[in-house]
Amino acid sequence: MFPIGDDNSDRTITPYVNYLIIALNVIVFVFLQGMSGDNVFTFSYATVPAEILSGRDIVTDAKVITDPYTGEHFTMPGLGPIGIPVYFTLITSMFMHGGWAHIAGNMLYLWIFGDNIENAIGHRRYLFFYLLCGIIASLSHVFATKLLGQNLLIPSLGASGAISGVLGAYILLFPRRRVTMFFIRFITHVSAFWAIGLWIVFQLINGLGMLGGAEAGGVAYAAHLGGFLAGLVLIKLFLPRNRDAVA
């Protein structure tokens, strides 16, 4: 079950910042990451918890890792040097993705829900809000990784944290907005409260499972939860005092 659209009948501005963010994600994925084939680039500009916690660039050798579920061996590229301060990866990482399904799912959610938030707070505010939620989401993942004693050298990437912030803002501002959902063989309409509410329940269940020692399956649930809470709490600070102030 996933969303395929929502009600945009009250749109008053063209959400070109949202379009630009989507375009940048696609461009980075296709041309810079080589459709996720350039692991050296991806690992260099993703967020590495150990680098954020230490404040320094970490370079490691490639190593062979065994998948605990399949027993398959694969080579994990080492962390390469980058020409920017490591804290900048909190931003660069949110424009990279691990595969076609990863970027397709994220961009679908951003396309559906992001334009409403940009319409509500304006172009410049929306850009800052999006980036801030993404940064907070990444930091949430970093500190959760540290607290749970997980591998601090595994990079994280993706727009999911920032988009989670958009979802947090959406459910607060538009809880009754009709969202079109695709479910197996039929299409239905539900309120945003239920559409996003089911999503956050799923994140909570899996996030709590990690506390009990369950595998995350490569998903940064702490980033999703941190981004969602950031959007929920911060969106009111970005609302213009009057409608004419939206820009």
pLDDT digits (tens, 9 = 90+) for 131-140: 999 999 999 9
What is the extent of the structural domain holding 68?
2-245
3-class secondary structure, 4: strand
- The whole-angstrom separation of Cα 55 and Cα 137 is 18
Task: Give 203 or 17, the one with higher predicted confidence.
Answer: 17
Task: Give 67 or 171, the one with higher predicted confidence.
Answer: 171
CATH for 204:
1.20.1540.10
Nearest C-alpha neighbor of 106 from the set 161, 156, 154, 155: 161
Task: Show Cβ contacts of residue 59 under 8 Å, excluding neighbours closer than 6 positions.
Answer: 78, 79, 80, 81
Q: What is the pLDDT of residue 37?
A: 65
Beta bridge partners of 74: 65
Q: What is the pLDDT of residue 208?
A: 73
Does pLDDT of 178 surpass 70? yes
180 pLDDT band, cuts 50/70/90, is very high
Average pLDDT score over residue span 26-34: 92
Q: What is the pLDDT of residue 21?
A: 99
Q: Which residue has the tokens 């998948």?
A: 67
142 pLDDT band, cuts 50/70/90, is very high
Q: What is the pLDDT of residue 153?
A: 87
Can you list the positions of beta strands (E) in the chain? 2-6, 63-66, 73-76, 178-183, 186-191
Average pLDDT score over residue span 36-42: 73
Q: How many domains does the chain have?
A: 1
Nearest C-alpha neighbor of 19 from the set 114, 93, 109, 119: 114
Average pLDDT score over residue span 61-75: 67
Does pLDDT of 215 surpass 50? no
2 pLDDT band, cuts 50/70/90, is confident
216 pLDDT band, cuts 50/70/90, is very low
Q: What is the pLDDT of residue 42?
A: 82
Q: What is the pLDDT of residue 214?
A: 44
User: What is the pairing mode between strands 186-191 and 178-183?
Assistant: antiparallel
- The whole-angstrom separation of Cα 176 and Cα 20 is 27
Average pLDDT score over residue span 43-60: 91
108 pLDDT band, cuts 50/70/90, is very high
246 pLDDT band, cuts 50/70/90, is low
Lowest mean pLDDT among 1-15, 22-36, 143-157, 199-213: 199-213
Does pLDDT of 26 surpass 80? yes
Q: Say whether pTM exceeds 0.85.
A: yes
